[in-house]
């Protein structure tokens, strides 16, 4: 079995990624967000979009325990409340909940106290507010430093909920600026909207754990807005899941594939944790073991 990784603005418009190609993110456009995305996998030996040799290793994984990374950057098409954007796993069909799963969920909640889930529903999900779930969040001004309304003419002219397979990359660069292959967590950049908004010393040296605790309250998240006038970068990574084998080591070790009944592992960012009517998708990434 070989690992295939696909991504796009929705689960119905995915494209196979060239994993570990940090210099060439896929570009996508959803109803909520225009952005770019890269996935990294330690020891990747899976499927590539054009059958070329996979990129197996990256310096990115040196001296860290993480086994995969999802990195996204882009701009929102309208302001979005910090309490209305969630990231996590979702499934289209019921899953077999393994014995000892509660141990794993307790560990997950120790890492991210805001995580919540409905794993026994017809369409199970495990979600957390983006402000708490992401390991890294940063933000900066777009190239033109103009408002979203002024920038509308420079936005990539591709249809909503599509992947930019033919759009000139320079169009995305003019709208978002150059792709940043490595980003750092920066709470000060996240919170400020103007240079004079907040004193830098208040937040410059706060950790991701501090950010998670800060935004644990729904009231605090409601007071934060993702602006359409900023470029945001997000990264999620973890040491527990080896997608090359679909083995999860989180307190207990087990084969995830046996419990998913043939489903992929999908990470989704959307405006409602349970999805469904009224929920807008920002992006989706799927990990799937397939026959070679």
Give per-residue pLDDT as tens, 34-87: 999 999 999 999 999 988 999 999 999 999 999 999 999 999 999 999 999 999
Q: How far is CA 204 from CA 43, 210, 221, 223, in A?
A: 34, 12, 19, 20
Q: What is the pTM for the complete model shown?
A: 0.88
Average pLDDT over residues 100-120: 77
Q: Name the pLDDT band for 145 (thresholds 50, 70, 90).
A: low
Coil vs helix vs strand at 72: strand
Domain extent listing, the chain:
2-290
246: which 2 tokens?
A: 């679909």
40: closest CA among 60, 62, 24?
60
Q: How confident is the model over 181-196, as a mean pLDDT? A: 76
Cα angle value 179/183/187 (rounded, 5°): 125
Q: How far apart are CA 206 and CA 203, in angstroms?
A: 6
- The confidence band for 190, taking pLDDT boundaries of 50, 70 and 90, is confident
Three-class SS state of 140: strand
Average pLDDT over residues 153-158: 55
| pLDDT of the residue at 4 | 97
Among 226, 174, 163, which residue's Cα sits nearest to residue 36? 163
Let me know: does 273 contact 251? Beta carbons within 8 Å.
no
pLDDT band at 151 (very low <50, low <70, confident <90, very high): low
**Tokens for 148?**
């979203």
Instruction: For residue 240, give Cα distances in angstroms to 42, 114, 136, 194, 245.
Output: 12, 19, 17, 38, 12
Helices (H) and strands (E) in the chain, counts: 8, 18
Q: Name the strand (E) or helix (H) holding 131.
A: helix 130-133
Mean pLDDT of the chain: 85
* CB of 54 closer than 8 Å to CB of 45: yes
The pLDDT confidence band at residue 101, using thresholds 50, 70 and 90, is low
Question: 273-283: per-residue pLDDT in tens?
Answer: 988 888 999 99
């Amino acid at each position: 079995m070989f690992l295939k990784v696909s991504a796009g603005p929705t689960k119905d418009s995915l494209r196979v990624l060239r994993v570990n190609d940090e210099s060439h993110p896929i570009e996508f456009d959803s109803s909520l967000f225009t952005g770019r995305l890269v996935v990294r996998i330690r020891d990747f030996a899976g499927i590539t979009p054009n059958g070329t040799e996979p990129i197996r290793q990256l310096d990115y994984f040196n001296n860290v325990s993480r086994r995969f990374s999802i990195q996204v950057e882009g701009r929102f098409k309208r302001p979005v409340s910090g309490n209305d954007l969630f990231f996590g796993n979702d499934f289209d069909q019921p899953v077999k909940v393994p014995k000892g799963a509660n141990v794993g969920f307790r560990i997950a909640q120790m890492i991210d106290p805001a995580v919540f889930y409905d794993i026994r529903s017809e369409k199970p999900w495990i979600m957390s507010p983006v402000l708490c779930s992401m390991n890294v969040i940063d933000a900066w001004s777009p190239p033109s430093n103009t408002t979203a309304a002024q920038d509308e003419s420079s936005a990539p002219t591709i249809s909503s909920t599509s992947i930019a397979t033919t759009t000139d990359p320079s169009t995305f660069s003019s709208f978002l600026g150059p792709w940043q292959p490595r980003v750092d967590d920066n709470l000060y950049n996240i919170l400020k909207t103007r240079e004079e908004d907040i004193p830098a010393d208040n937040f410059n040296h706060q950790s991701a754990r501090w950010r998670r605790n800060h935004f644990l309250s729904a009231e605090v998240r409601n007071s934060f807005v993702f602006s359409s006038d900023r470029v945001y970068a997000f990264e999620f990574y973890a040491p527990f899941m080896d997608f090359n084998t679909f083995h999860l080591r989180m307190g207990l070790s087990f084969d995830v594939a046996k419990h998913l009944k043939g489903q992929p592992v999908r990470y989704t960012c959307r405006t409602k944790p349970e999805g469904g009517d009224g929920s807008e998708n920002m992006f989706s990434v799927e990990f799937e073991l397939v026959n070679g």
